[in-house]
Amino acid sequence: MHEDVFALRSGTSYASIAFDLDDALFLEDVLRKEFKGNQQPTEQWKCVQEFEGYLETLTDPMVEQDKLAKELDATAFKDSTREAQEEMRREKDNEALAPKN
């Protein structure tokens, strides 16, 4: 199990404040919505747009990796379920073929 963590610095203490991938995706979404809602081409908004784009370059690979990991987990679960069902079927077949006393 892994956890993707980003960190921000507190403006007062400069301590690192951690947040996870879901928080980063939420921040990315908020920035995108705010930018689209306020199309003033100021330096501040250009900076926000650049940061949102940069954040997206960090989160997109992690989201894709998480999606692939979930698909692999689902595949492994389906395979193990199928194997267990086959094993149960073989046991029933063996019991049916075994001589009864």
Instruction: Give the model's confidence band at 1: pLDDT under 50 very low, under 70 low, under 90 confident, else very high.
Output: very low
Is 28 part of any domain? yes
Rounded CA separation 32/39 (Å): 11
Tokens, residue 54: 């940069």
Interval 70-89 mean pLDDT: 80
Domain span including residue 14:
1-39
Is 17 part of any domain? yes
Is 61 part of any domain? no
Q: What is the pLDDT of residue 3?
A: 53
- Does the pLDDT of residue 11 top 70, yes or no? yes
Rounded CA separation 94/88 (Å): 10
Distances (CA, A) of 22 to 40, 53, 74, 93: 28, 17, 21, 49
- Output the CA torsion 19→22→23→25 (10° steps): 130
Are 55 and 28 in contact by the 8 Å Cβ rule? The answer is yes
Interval 44-70 mean pLDDT: 83
Q: How many domains does the chain have?
A: 1
